[in-house]
Amino acid sequence: MLERALAERNGIAHFLVTCDADGRMSKAVRAREDCLSIVLDDTTNDRGLAMTSSFTNMVPAGQILAHTGNLGDYEPILRALASAAEAFLPKAAALASELARTGFKRACFVGSGLLVGAALESSLKLLELTAGRVQTITQPTLPLRHGPMAALDRGIRSSSA
């Protein structure tokens, strides 16, 4: 897609934020005068399908770029985000470890309104990180409340989903 935009849209400057200095997009813009590329530290490059670290670092990089006119306005926001992550991640890691030990095979992520994206991304990440061993679905709150819903699994003999 980027290669096509570069070939067909002359006169448009392109700006790339990436975690992969040797990736296809980086190579496509490397020698071009109408492109600017910012490559984040190599430790942010996940090198895999589930780009959790890459995405987590590219979002604030993009937000910082959006605030280049006044970085002072964004600094307290970034510090608050970092502080929240430092408090949340150890608890989340412990809970994730505890859940993983239960051997669950299915998960439903519920989210409506502003939480739809978080529910969809959570469902996708669990599916990716378990190589499909855990079946996932995403539902908005209202349809889930008004059921019925069912999921079948040969390993489960009860009639409950």
- Give residue-wise pLDDT tens across range 57-104: 888 898 999 998 988 999 999 999 999 999 999 999 999 999 989 989
Q: Supply the pLDDT for residue 22.
A: 92
- Helix ranges (H only) for 2-105 are 2-8, 24-29, 52-66, 71-100
- Quick one: pLDDT band at residue 156, thresholds 50, 70, 90? low
Domain ranges of the chain: 1-88, 102-149
C-alpha 22/C-alpha 18 separation (Å) is 10
Q: What is the band of 21 on the pLDDT scale with cuts at 50, 70, 90? A: very high
Which tokens hold the place of 14? Answer: 């392109």
pLDDT at 153: 65
Only one residue has tokens 């002359």, namely 10
